[in-house]
Amino acid sequence: MPSQPVSSAAPHTKQLTGAEIVWATLTGEGVRTVFGYPGGAILPIYDALRKYPIHHVLVRHEQGAAHMADGYARASGEVGVAVATSGPGATNLVTGIATAMLDSVPMVCITGQISSKLLGTDAFQEVDITGITLPITKHNFIVTKSEDIGPVLRRAFSIARTGRPGPVLVDITKDAQQGLADFNFEACAPQPHRPHPMLSAENEAVSEAIDLILNAQRPILLVGHGALESGATDQLITLAERLHIPVASTLLGLGAIPASHDLSLGMMGMHGEAWVNQAIQQSDLLIACGMRFDDRVTGALTSYAPNAKKIHIEIDPSEISKNVKADVALIGDLKEILETILPRLAPRKDQSWVKAVNALKGVAAVRDIKNLPDSGHLYAAHVIHDLWRATAGKAIVVTDVGQHQMWEAQYYKHDAPRSLITSGGLGTMGFALPAAIGAKMARPDDEIWVIAGDGGFQMTASELSTLVQEKLKINIAVINNGFLGMVRQWQEFMYESNYACSPILSPDFVKLADAHGVPGATVRTRGEVAAAVKAAREADGPFLINFLVEKEDAVYPMVGPGAALDEMIRRPANGHNPLLETSEEP
Partner 1 sequence: MLHTFVALVEDKPGVLTRVASLFRRLNINIISLTVGRSERPGVSRMSIVAEAPAGAGHRIKASLFKLESVFDVDDVGQLQCVTRELALIKVAATPQSRAQIFQLSEIFRARIVDLAPESMMLEITGAASKIEGLIQVLNEGDNQILEIARTGRMVMRRGQHTSHVLEAFQLSQPEDEPIIPLTAEKGSENLDVISGDPNHPM
Q: How far is the CB of 499 from partner 1 (least distance, A)?
A: 34
How many other CB atoms are there within 10 angstroms of residue 80's CB atom? Answer: 34
Please, what sign has the CA dihedral across residues 412, 418, 424, 428?
A: negative
Counting every residue written for the chain, the total comes to 586
Residue 481, judged by CB atoms within 10 A of its CB (0-12, 13-18, 19+), counts as buried
Please, which residue, 27 or 200, has the CB nearer to partner 1?
Answer: 200
**Least CB distance from residue 318 to partner 1, whole Å?**
4
User: How is 337-359 classified by DSSP, letter by letter?
Assistant: HHHHHGGG-------HHHHHHHH
Closer to partner 1 by CB, 135 or 376: give it: 135
Q: Which of 124, 198, 351, 370 is catalytic?
A: 124
Q: Which of 29, 62, 408, 470 is catalytic?
A: 62
Q: Tell how strand 309-314 and strand 328-331 pair up.
A: parallel
| 118/345 with CB nearer partner 1 | 118
Closest to partner 1 by CB, 199 or 206:
199
3-state secondary structure 1-62: CCCCCHHHHCCCCEEEEHHHHHHHHHHHCCCCEEEECCCHHHHHHHHHHHHCCCEEEECCCH
* Closest CB to partner 1 among residues 322, 537: 322
Q: Is 124 a catalytic residue?
A: yes
119, amino acid identity: L
C-alpha–C-alpha distance, residues 144 and 175, integer Å = 7
Q: What whole-number distance in Å separates Cα of residue 350 and Cα of residue 289?
A: 23
Among 91, 89, 110, which residue's Cα sits nearest to residue 172? 110
Smaller CB distance to partner 1: residue 139 or 537?
139
Catalytic residue check, 62: yes
Which one from 125, 322, 492, 493 is the annotated catalytic residue? 125
Contact status, residue 89 vs residue 112, Cβ threshold 8 Å: yes
Q: How far is the CB of 104 from partner 1 (least distance, A)?
A: 12
Of 553, 577, 566, nearest in space to 272 by CA: 566
**Cα–Cα distance, 69 to 49 (Å, whole number):** 18
Considering the candidates 35, 68, 141, 174, report the single residue annotated as catalytic: 174
Rounded Cα gap, residues 214 and 107, in angstroms: 39
Nearest CB to partner 1, comparing residues 90 and 436: 90
Nearer to partner 1, 194 or 370 (CB): 194
Residue 174 catalytic? yes
Amino acid identity, residue 426?
Answer: L
Among 25, 78, 43, which residue's Cα sits nearest to residue 441?
A: 78
Pairing of strands 475-480, 520-523: unpaired
CB contact at 8 A, 404 and 451 = yes
Nearest-approach distance from CB 94 to partner 1, in angstroms: 16
CB of 197 to partner 1, least distance (A): 6
Q: How far is the CB of 573 from partner 1 (least distance, A)?
A: 44
Nearer Cβ to partner 1 (322/377): 322
Contact positions vs partner 1 (CB under 8 A): 130-131, 134-135, 138-139, 159, 191-192, 194, 196-198, 316-318, 320-322
DSSP strands (E only) in 503-555: 520-523, 543-548
CB of 116 to partner 1, least distance (A): 13
Q: Where are the beta strands (DSSP E) in 104-246?
A: 107-113, 139-143, 167-173, 180-183, 219-223
What minimum distance in Å lies between the beta carbon of 378 and partner 1?
Answer: 44
The minimum distance between CB 317 and partner 1, in angstroms, equals 4
The residue among 211, 316, 314, 296 whose CA lies nearest residue 250 is 296
**Is 68 a catalytic site residue?**
no
Q: What is the 3-class SS of 274-307, one letter each residue?
A: HHHHHHHHHCCEEEEECCCCCHHHHCCHHHCCCC
Please state the closest distance from residue 148 (CB atom) to partner 1, in A. Answer: 12
Cα 176-180-186 angle, rounded to 5 deg: 95
Q: Which is nearer to partner 1, 163 or 578 (CB)?
A: 163
Q: Give the count of alpha carbons within 13 A of 364, CB side only.
A: 23
**Annotation says 141 is catalytic:** no
Which of residues 140 and 423 has its CB atom nearest to partner 1 in the complex? 140
Closest CA to 80 of 94, 96, 102, 60: 96
Tell me the pairing of strands 520-523 and 543-548.
parallel
CA dist., res. 459 & res. 480, Å (int): 14
Residues belonging to the active site: 62, 124-125, 174, 486
